[in-house]
């Protein structure tokens, strides 16, 4: 959304930017949780 905001100049796109950041953090958190739950290989 930041690229679209910069290239188009549509200010309303800045409103959705925090949701992308939250989705990014959530995705990494879920990946970390999955790795932690699987544990190390025997």
- Please report the pLDDT score of residue 12 as a whole number: 81
Q: Domain count of the chain?
A: 1
Mention every residue, 6+ apart, whose C-beta is less than 8 A from residue 1. Answer: 13, 14, 16, 17, 20
Would you state the pLDDT for residue 7?
Answer: 87
| Residue range 10-19, pLDDT digits in tens | 888 788 888 8
**CB-CB contact of 24 with 39 (8 Å):** no
> In which domain, by residue range, is 19 found?
2-38
Tell me the whole-structure pTM to 2 decimals.
Answer: 0.64
Confidence of residue 26 (pLDDT cuts 50, 70, 90): very high
Give the ranges where 1-42 is alpha helix by DSSP (H): 2-8, 17-38
| pLDDT confidence bin for 5, thresholds 50/70/90 | confident
Question: What confidence category does residue 29 fall into, taking pLDDT thresholds of 50, 70 and 90?
Answer: very high
């Amino acid at each position: 959304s930041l690229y679209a905001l910069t290239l188009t100049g549509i200010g309303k796109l800045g409103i959705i930017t925090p949701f992308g950041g939250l989705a990014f953090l959530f995705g990494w958190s879920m990946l970390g949780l999955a790795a932690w739950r699987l544990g190390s290989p025997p």
